[in-house]
C-alpha cells in the first residue's frame, strides 16, 4: 500500500472519530459513538504497525507529505504536513497502539458513565493532536499539536467536572503547562529570529555553520543555539513534568484511569522527550543546554523516586514512577544518547500503560478504592490483574541478566541509558557522571516502590472487608467519582494499629468481594503485557544496536565525537543496575511481606525524611506560599486598588458620585414655594442690571 495514503488515514482517522462522537454522540447513542471512535483508532494502530514494519524491514525512505498552507506571512512559512522518519514511525506505533487499547479498555471501565460519547470524543481528539505533533515538519505545527494535547488533557483531567478536585487538577495542569509553553514559544521566536525559518529541513543544516554566533546582553554573551535549545527545553519541562514544573502530573490522576494511561504514561508526557530527540541537530551543538537537560533529568528521576516510595494512592505511585522514568529519558538525551532515550520511551509505553490500566482493574474490582492501605491479599481474587501487574513491575524495574542480554523490556532500555551516562561521564563530563550515579541509585528506588505496590496490593493480609466494598459500591451507584467514591478522605497518617488490623474477608459466597474486570479491560492488559515482556528483546538491535544507523536514517544526529552508545563498559557498570534492583526487591519483600506492618510503623513514626518525601519535598506548599499567594496579592492589588479605587474611583464611579452630590445640593433649592422662586428671579434681574450698568460706564 502507498505509505502516503496510509499516513493520511492514520492522522485524520481519529479526528473523524472525535468529530462524529463529539457532534452527533447524543443522536448516535453510546454504543455507536464508542464503536466509531474505537474503530478508527484500531485502524490507525494497524496501519501504524504496517508503516513501522515498512520502515524497519521494508526499506521505506523518509518523506514529507504537504497537505495545505498553514501560515504564510513574509518569511514566516508553515505548511500543514506529515513528516515520516524514524522518530515519527516509532511515535506512530506508540501513540496509536496505546490509544486504541485505552479506547477498548474504556468500554468496560466507563460502562456506567452517562457521558460516554463525550469521553470517547475527547480521547480521539487527544490522539489527533498528538499525531499532529509527532508528524510536524516545522515548529508551527509542532506548537499546534503541543497546545492541542494541552487542551485535550485539560478536558480529560476535568472530565468529571462535578468534582472540585478534578476541576482544580485540570486548571493546575493547564496553568503549569502555560509556564512551560511560554518558554517554548520564546524558543521558537529565537529560532526564527536567529535563522529566518521554522521549518526543520532548511533549519538543521544551518546549525553547524552558526555555532560561533551569539547574542550579547549587557556583559553576558549567549550562544544562539544554546539559548534557543534552553528555551525550547523549558517547554519540554512543562509538558513532560520535569523538576520545578512537575507539580501538575500527580494531581492529573483525578481524571478517569484510562486518561492516566493515555496521557500520562505513553503520549503527552513523552512529547518533551520526542522534541529534544527531534532537535538533536541543534542540541548536539549546544553543550550548555545539554548539561541543563542532563541535570534536570537526573534530579527529576531522583525526586520522583523518593516521593513514590511514600505515596499510598495506587495511581499516584505510578504517576511519580512516570515522572522518574521521564527523567531517565532526558538523562539519555542530555548525554547525547538520543536513541536510548527514544528506546526507553518505546518500551516505557507498554509497561507503564500496563501498570496504569492494571491499577484501573484493581480500582474497578475494589469498588473504586485507590488507597493501597485498604488492599491486601487481592492476588487470589484478581489473578489475571495480579499477573500482568507483576509483569509490568518486572519490566519497569529492568530485571535482566547482563552478558546474556536476556530480560524484560526495561532491562534493555534503562540499562543502556545508565551505560551511556557512564561512557560520557568517564570521558570527563561531570554532569553525565552525576547522571550515572543518580541513574544507578534511582534503579534501586524504582525497584523498591514498584515491588512495594505489588506486595502491598496482592500479598499479605486483607485490609478490607466485604462491608467496606458494599459501602463503596452503594456510593458508587450514586456518583461517578473515580477516586474515593464514598466521599470521605482517608487519613494520610493513619496509625500503625489501624493499618495493621487484618480483617479477613468473608466467604466467597458473599456478593461484595473483589472481582476481575470484564474482558474489554482484560484483553488490553494481556496485549500490553506482551509488549512489556518482548519489546526490548525484539527491537534493541534496531534502536541502540549495530543496526541503529540504518533504522534512524538521519532522523537522529550525533557528532563524530559523541560515543554515548559505543564501547563496552566495565563489568561492574554492567551489573550495578541489576545489583541495586535486587536490593530494592529484597527491601520491599522484607518490609511488606517478611515483616508485614513495618512500613506502617515507619510511616506512623513520621520521621523527618519520611515527612519530607511524603509531602513531595514540600513543593506544593512552597509554590502556594510564593507564586500563588503573590499572584493573589497582585490580583487584589490591581483589582481593588487599581481597578476599583483608581480607575473606577476617578472614572465612572467618581463622576457618578459627583453628579449625585450635585443633584442632592441642587435639589435642596427646589422648595416649591412661589415667593422663593420670585426672590431668586429678583436677584437675577438685579444682577443683570448691575452687570449692564457696569458695562455701560466702562
Q: Which three cell numbers stand for residue 307?
A: 516521593
Distance of CA 60 to the CA centre of its chain: 32
**How far apart, in whole angstroms, are the C-alpha atoms of residue 503 and residue 464?**
6
d(CA 119, CA 666): 64
- C-alpha pair distances (Å), 674 with each of 359, 404, 502, 539, 663: 90, 116, 97, 106, 21
- What are the 10-residue block averages of pLDDT along the chain, 698 residues in total? 91 96 92 95 96 94 94 91 96 95 93 91 95 96 95 92 89 91 95 94 93 79 91 94 90 87 80 96 95 97 96 93 95 97 95 94 89 91 95 95 90 96 94 97 97 94 78 57 39 40 40 82 94 94 92 94 92 95 96 91 91 93 87 84 77 77 78 81 90 83
The DSSP H or E segment spanning 492 is none
Res 672: pLDDT: 79
Which parts of 336-408 fold into alpha helices (H)?
338-365, 383-397
Cα-Cα end-to-end distance for the chain: 107
* Burial bucket for residue 664 (CB in 10 Å: 0-12, 13-18, 19+): exposed
State residue 485's pLDDT score: 39
Please give the pLDDT value at position 677: 81
CA distance 338 to 358: 30
Task: Find out whether 273 and 300 touch, Cβ atoms under 8 Å.
Answer: no
Residue 510 has a pLDDT of 43
Buried b (16+ CB within 10 A) or exposed e, 307-329: bbbbbbbbbbbbbbbbbbbbbbb
HEC profile of 163-190: CHHHHHHHHHHHHHHHHHHHHHHHHHHH
Q: How far is residue 296's CA from residue 45's CA, in Å, rounded to a whole number?
A: 33
Cβ neighbors of 591 (< 8 A, separation 6 or more) are 452, 598, 599, 602
Q: How far apart are CA 434 and CA 362, in angstroms?
A: 38
Gyration radius of the chain's alpha carbons: 31
- The H-or-E segment that residue 215 falls in is strand 214-217
Phi, psi torsion values for 512, nearest 5 degrees: -95, 80
- At 161, list the grid cell: 467536572
Residues 41, 13: Cα–Cα separation, whole Å: 7
CA 375/CA 359 separation, integer angstroms: 12
d(CA 350, CA 537): 13
**pTM of the predicted structure, to 2 decimals:** 0.88
Please say whether the beta carbons of 317 and 453 come within 8 A: yes
CA distance 447 to 589: 11
pLDDT at residue 477 in the model = 54
pLDDT of residue 49: 96
Q: What is the pLDDT of residue 473?
A: 61
Q: Which residue has the cell 538523562?
A: 331
Instruction: Centre a 10 Å sphere on the Cβ of residue 431 and count the other Cβ atoms it contains.
Output: 21
DSSP 63-91: EEEEEEEEEEETTEEEEEEEEESHHHHHH
Q: How many Cβ atoms sit within 10 Å of the Cβ of residue 611?
A: 14
**Residues 502, 462 contacting (CB under 8 angstroms):** yes
Q: Cα dist. 230→179, 282, 361, 420 in Å?
A: 14, 11, 40, 22
Could you identify the residue written with the cell 490522539? 127
pLDDT score, position 434 = 97
* Separation CA 239–CA 87 (nearest Å): 18
The rounded distance, in Å, linking the Cα atoms of 672 and 695 is 35
Quote the CA–CA distance of 626 and 605 in Å, as a whole number.
30
Q: Which three cell numbers stand for residue 202?
A: 532548511
Classify residue 98 by burial, with Cβ atoms within 10 Å: 0-12, 13-18, 19+.
buried
The single-letter DSSP state of residue 516 is: P
Task: For residue range 412-457, list pLDDT tens digits in order.
Answer: 999 999 999 999 999 999 999 999 999 999 999 999 999 999 999 9
Whole-angstrom CA distances from 676 to 537, 681, 686 are 107, 9, 15
Q: Report phi then psi at 68, rounded to 5.
A: -165, 155
Amino acid at each position: 500500500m502507498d505509505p502516503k495514503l496510509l499516513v493520511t488515514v492514520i492522522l485524520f482517522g481519529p479526528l473523524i472519530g472525535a468529530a462524529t462522537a463529539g457532534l452527533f454522540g447524543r443522536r448516535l447513542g453510546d454504543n455507536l459513538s464508542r464503536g466509531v471512535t474505537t474503530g478508527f483508532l484500531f485502524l490507525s494502530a494497524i496501519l501504524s504497525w504496517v508503516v513501522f514494519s515498512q520502515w524497519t524491514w521494508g526499506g521505506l525512505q523518509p518523506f514529507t507529505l504537504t497537505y495545505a498552507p498553514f501560515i504564510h506571512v513574509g518569511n514566516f512559512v508553515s505548511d500543514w504536513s506529515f513528516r515520516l522518519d524514524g522518530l515519527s514511525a516509532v511515535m506512530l506505533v506508540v501513540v496509536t497502539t496505546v490509544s486504541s487499547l485505552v479506547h477498548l479498555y474504556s468500554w468496560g471501565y466507563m460502562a456506567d458513565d452517562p457521558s460516554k460519547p463525550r469521553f470517547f470524543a475527547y480521547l480521539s481528539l487527544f490522539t489527533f493532536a498528538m499525531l499532529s505533533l509527532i508528524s510536524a515538519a516545522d515548529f508551527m505545527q509542532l506548537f499546534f499539536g503541543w497546545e492541542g494535547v494541552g487542551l485535550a488533557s485539560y478536558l480529560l483531567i476535568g472530565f468529571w467536572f462535578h468534582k472540585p478536585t478534578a476541576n482544580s487538577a485540570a486548571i493546575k495542569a493547564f496553568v503549569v503547562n502555560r509556564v512551560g509553553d511560554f518558554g517554548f514559544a520564546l524558543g521558537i521566536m529565537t529560532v526564527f529570529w536567529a535563522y529566518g525559518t521554522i521549518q526543520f529541513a532548511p533549519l538543521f543544516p544551518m546549525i553547524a555553520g552558526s555555532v560561533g554566533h551569539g547574542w550579547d546582553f549587557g556583559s553576558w554573551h549567549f550562544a544562539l543555539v544554546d539559548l534557543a535549545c534552553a528555551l525550547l527545553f523549558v517547554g519540554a519541562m512543562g509538558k513532560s513534568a520535569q523538576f520545578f514544573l512537575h507539580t501538575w502530573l500527580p494531581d492529573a490522576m483525578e481524571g478517569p484511569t484510562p486518561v492516566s494511561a493515555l496521557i500520562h504514561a505513553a503520549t503527552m508526557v513523552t512529547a518533551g522527550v520526542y522534541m529534544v530527540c527531534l532537535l538533536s541537530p541543534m542540541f548536539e551543538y549546544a553543550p550548555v543546554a545539554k548539561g541543563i537537560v542532563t541535570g534536570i533529568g537526573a534530579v527529576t528521576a531522583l525526586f520522583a523516586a523518593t516521593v513514590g516510595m511514600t505515596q499510598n494512592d495506587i495511581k499516584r505511585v505510578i504517576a511519580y514512577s512516570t515522572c522518574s522514568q521521564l527523567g531517565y529519558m532526558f538523562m539519555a538525551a542530555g548525554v547525547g544518547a538520543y536513541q536510548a532515550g527514544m528506546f526507553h520511551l518505546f518500551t516505557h509505553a507498554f509497561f507503564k500503560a500496563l501498570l496504569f490500566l492494571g491499577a484501573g482493574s484493581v480500582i474497578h474490582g475494589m469498588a473504586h478504592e485507590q488507597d493501597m492501605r485498604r488492599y491486601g491479599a487481592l492476588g487470589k481474587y484478581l489473578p489475571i490483574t495480579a499477573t500482568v501487574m507483576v509483569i509490568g513491575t518486572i519490566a519497569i524495574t529492568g530485571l535482566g541478566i547482563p552478558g546474556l542480554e536476556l530480560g524484560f523490556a526495561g532491562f534493555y532500555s534503562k540499562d543502556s541509558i545508565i551505560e551511556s551516562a557512564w561512557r560520557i561521564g568517564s570521558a570527563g563530563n561531570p554532569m553525565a557522571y552525576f547522571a550515572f550515579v543518580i541513574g544507578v541509585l534511582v534503579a534501586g528506588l524504582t525497584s523498591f516502590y514498584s515491588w512495594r505496590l505489588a506486595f502491598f496490593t496482592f500479598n499479605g493480609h486483607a485490609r478490607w472487608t466485604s462491608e467496606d466494598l458494599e459501602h463503596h459500591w452503594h456510593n458508587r451507584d450514586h456518583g461517578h467519582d473515580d477516586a474515593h467514591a464514598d466521599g470521605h478522605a482517608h487519613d494520610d497518617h493513619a496509625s500503625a494499629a489501624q493499618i495493621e488490623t487484618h480483617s479477613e474477608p468473608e466467604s466467597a459466597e458473599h456478593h461484595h468481594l473483589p472481582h476481575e474486570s470484564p474482558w474489554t479491560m482484560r484483553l488490553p492488559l494481556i496485549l500490553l503485557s506482551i509488549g512489556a515482556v518482548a519489546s526490548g528483546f525484539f527491537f534493541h538491535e534496531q534502536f541502540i544496536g549495530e543496526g541503529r544507523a540504518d533504522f534512524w536514517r538521519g532522523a537522529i544526529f550525533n557528532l563524530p565525537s559523541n560515543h554515548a552508545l559505543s564501547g563496552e563498559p566495565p563489568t561492574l557498570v554492567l551489573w550495578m543496575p541489576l545489583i541495586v534492583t535486587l536490593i530494592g526487591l529484597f527491601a520491599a519483600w522484607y518490609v511488606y511481606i517478611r515483616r508485614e506492618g513495618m512500613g506502617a510503623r515507619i510511616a506512623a513514626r513520621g520521621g523527618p525524611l519520611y515527612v519530607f518525601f511524603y509531602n513531595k519535598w514540600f513543593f506544593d506548599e512552597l509554590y502556594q506560599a510564593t507564586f500563588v499567594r503573590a499572584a493573589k496579592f497582585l490580583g487584589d492589588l490591581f483589582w481593588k486598588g487599581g481597578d476599583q479605587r483608581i480607575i473606577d474611583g476617578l472614572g465612572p464611579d467618581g463622576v457618578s458620585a459627583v453628579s449625585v452630590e450635585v443633584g442632592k445640593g441642587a435639589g435642596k433649592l427646589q422648595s416649591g414655594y412661589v415667593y422663593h422662586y420670585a426672590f431668586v428671579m429678583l436677584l437675577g434681574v438685579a444682577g443683570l442690571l448691575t452687570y449692564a450698568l457696569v458695562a455701560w460706564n466702562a
